[in-house]
Amino acid sequence: QIQLVQSGVEVRKPGASVKVSCKASGYHFTNYAVNWVRLAPGQGLEWMGWISASNGKTSSAQKFQGRLTMTTDTSTNTAYMELRSLRPDDTAVYYCSRLVVVVPAIPDYWGQGTQVTVSS
Amino acid sequence: EIVLTQSPGTLSLSPGERVTLSCRASKSVASSYLAWYQHKPGQAPRPLIYGASIRGTDVPDRFSGSGSGTDFTLTISRLEPDDFAFYYCLQYGGSPPFTFGQGTKLEIK
């Protein structure tokens, strides 16, 4: 079955970086993109960006440009999301999901989420 | 950028009731690229509806979506205990590619 399994809880100090992994299985990894969304306390879902697993093409929300790096490793079917210069308001649950990018489509299968806490 | 506004923010209802959630877009959503997700704390968001009215895989038929242009609704015909959750609308296919509404919390009365 299709699964996306994310790495565990992370705690960082302000100014640090965090790298979250998302290991995919059950489908052909390079036929899809990996999408990243976060949910901060008391806030709604927020789209961050996506990366094509076939060619590395990315698209990201303007507010994260310059701080966000998304990569994939096709040898292990794993996607990575790195966020730098962390602030307390980056405290959130970060989700990866599978995405078709050839035509407009919605993220269908999602990971379980990774809690990232930014606190001094 | 399209801004999605969901209403109400919170809804308190009882099992068996009918509910309609609203999602209004600041600009017309192209080709009805509007989806609805259900989200329960500690779980992954679950896609319910895409293309404004197409039910996703294994989504019960008590969930239905409608609308076009700037006004969209999600209706749950008869609430079951498992339906109490957060609901988000999502526009896709625009620029930026994805925008979520702020969500509606559906809670048990």
Give the tens place of pLDDT for each residue, A43-58. 999 999 999 999 999 9
Say how far apart CA A119 and CA A108 lie, in whole Å. Answer: 32
Pairing, β A114-118 against β A10-12: parallel
Between chains, do A106 and B35 touch, taking CB under 8 Å as contact?
yes
d(CA A58, CA A54): 11
Report pLDDT for B94: 81
Q: Facing residues of A72 across strands? A: A79
Mean pLDDT (chain A, rounded): 96
Adjacency order of strands within the sheet including A45-52: A10-12, A114-118, A92-99, A33-39, A45-52, A58-60
Average pLDDT over residues A12-40: 97
pLDDT-derived band of residue B93, with 50, 70 and 90 as boundaries? Answer: confident
pLDDT value of residue B10: 96
* Chain A residues 7-46 with a CB less than 8 Å from chain B: 35, 37, 39, 43-46
A62: left (phi over 0), alpha (psi -120 to 50) or beta: alpha
CA distance to A63, A69, A113, per residue, from A12 (Å) = 20, 17, 17
% of chain B with per-residue pLDDT over 90: 87
Percent of chain B exceeding pLDDT 70 equals: 100
The angle at the Cα of B50, spanning B48 to A113, to the nearest 5 degrees, equals 55
The DSSP annotation for A52-114 comes to ETTT--EEE-GGGTTTEEEEEETTTTEEEEEE-S--GGG-EEEEEEEE--SS-----SB---E
As to burial, measured by CB atoms within 10 angstroms (0-12 exposed, 13-18 middle, 19+ buried), residue B98 is buried
Average pLDDT over residues A36-48: 95
Q: Poorest-confidence range of A57-61, B75-79, B94-98?
A: B94-98
- The whole-number average pLDDT for the span A75-91 is 98
Q: Count CA atoms closer than 13 A to B68's CA, side-chain side.
A: 1
As a whole number, mean pLDDT of residues B92-107 equals 91
pLDDT of residue B32: 84
* Beta pairing partners, B13: B108
Q: Is B92 on the interface with A (CB under 8 A)?
A: yes
Contact A97, A1 (CB under 8 A): no
Whether the per-residue pLDDT at A114 is higher than 80: the answer is yes
Min mean pLDDT across A99-108, A110-119, B52-61 is at: A99-108
Cβ <8 Å between A106 and B39? no
- Which residue has 């006004």 as its token pair? B71
d(CA A10, CA A7): 9
Task: Give the contacts of A67 (CB within 8 A, at least 6 positions apart).
Answer: A83, A84, A85
Q: How many CA atoms lie within 13 A of B81 on its CB side?
A: 0
Mean pLDDT taken over chain B = 94
CB-based contact B92 A105, cutoff 8 Å? yes
A112: nearest CB among B37, B44, B103: B44
Exposure on the CB side of residue B14, measured as CA atoms within 13 A: 1
Residue A102 has pLDDT above 80, yes or no: no
